[in-house]
Amino acid sequence: MSEKKIILSGIQPSGAMTLGTYLGALKNWATLADEFDCYYMIVDMHAITARQNPAELRKTQLSQLAQYIACGLDPEQNTLFIQSHVPAHAQLGWVLNCYTMFGELSRMTQFKDKSAKNAENINAGLFTYPALQAADILLYQADLVPVGADQKQHVELTRDIALRFNGIYGDVFKLPEPYIPKIGAKIMDLQSPENKMSKSSIADGGCLLILDKPEDIMRAFKRAVTDSETQVRFDAENKPGISNLIQIYSSCTGKTFEETEAEFSGQGYGTFKQSVGEAVVETLRPIREEALKILADKAYLESVYRLGAEKASRQASRTLRKVYKKIGFIEA
């Protein structure tokens, strides 16, 4: 087995991926393959905690896989797979449901947010979602879980579940850590910068997608909400709109917040917004072109997810077998 530390993460195919997903997650993932053994999934089983259109779900998954690759995840160096192709996720997910407390799940912010937004479908899967996420992570004995800041609570719960299980049965699971980027961990909505940019609220023009066209990106930045001052200065509390734009610009150009502030000192918001738009266009342009090219080759995509599932299954079934044995299941 490889000596490298193990990385695992996943994104829901519940809609098109956003600039927030790119800057908060994918961009970071693409830098890790040399140093780590990386597993990245498309979490279709998580996505059905909200009602999905089947044809749309199939399409979104292939598009998401094409974007993973276009964002720099080379399938030869990373294990890219679809969650439901590895049945061990459902199997360990059930077991961990029995080691996760009602009170713990009730405290999860994502559950509270999503059930408030979708009051007519607060299903049991939405509630127990973090136990399945814990299974995703623990099956691979992951050391690090690269995610945006909103997922920190789920990774912490995963550690608590692993500690509880290990406390009863001995060292079965590695304790994972969240791995959160310094810049870009929480990109906010361009129209309502007090909310996270999120694919489930793309209607108001505050959310940009990785596959958006350059003219749409420029238009969204021109319309981005700012404040009544004129100074480009980072102050997340009092200037959430401008601070978000600084974060996006810094993340796309590699400049620090200070360098960005200095560059636009004395210039109006109009110039700044134009430059942020251009930086995002240039960041996403090659990704969009590459993703569309890959998406046209269905046979290639199929070969990638088949191979990914095979590699992932090997690792996952080893952990599942160990768990079944520990808890007293009889080997089939």
Q: Does 176 bind ligand ATP (CB under 6 A)?
A: no
Question: Where do runs of H (alpha helix) occur along 71-151?
Answer: 88-97, 102-106, 109-117, 124-138
Q: Does 38 bind ligand ATP (CB under 6 A)?
A: no
- Tell me the two tokens of residue 200: 């489930």
Q: Does 178 bind ligand ATP (CB under 6 A)?
A: no
Stretch that binds ligand LTN, among 9-17, 200-208, 241-249, 261-269 (CB under 6 A): 9-17
Cα–chain center distance at 140: 17
- Tell me the two tokens of residue 223: 């319309």
CB 233, min distance to ligand ATP, A: 21
* Choice between 180 and 248, CB closer to ligand LTN: 180
Asked if 115 and 126 count as a contact pair (C-beta separation under 8 A), the reply is yes
CB 145, min distance to ligand LTN, A: 5
Given CA atoms 208, 209, 210, 213 in this order, what sign does their dihedral have? negative
Provide the total of helices (H) and of strands (E) in the chain, helices listed first: 14, 5
Backbone angles phi, psi at 179, to 5 degrees: -130, 100
Stretch that binds ligand ATP, among 63-71, 132-140, 184-192, 267-275 (CB under 6 A): 184-192
Stretch that binds ligand ATP, among 30-38, 182-190, 212-220, 258-266 (CB under 6 A): 182-190
- Choose, by CB under 6 A, the member of 126, 145, 218, 276 that binds ligand LTN: 145
Look at the block and give the residue holding tokens 């309502």. 192
Q: Which chain residues interact with ligand ATP by CB under 6 A?
A: 11-12, 14, 18, 20-21, 24-25, 147-148, 150-151, 185-187, 196-200
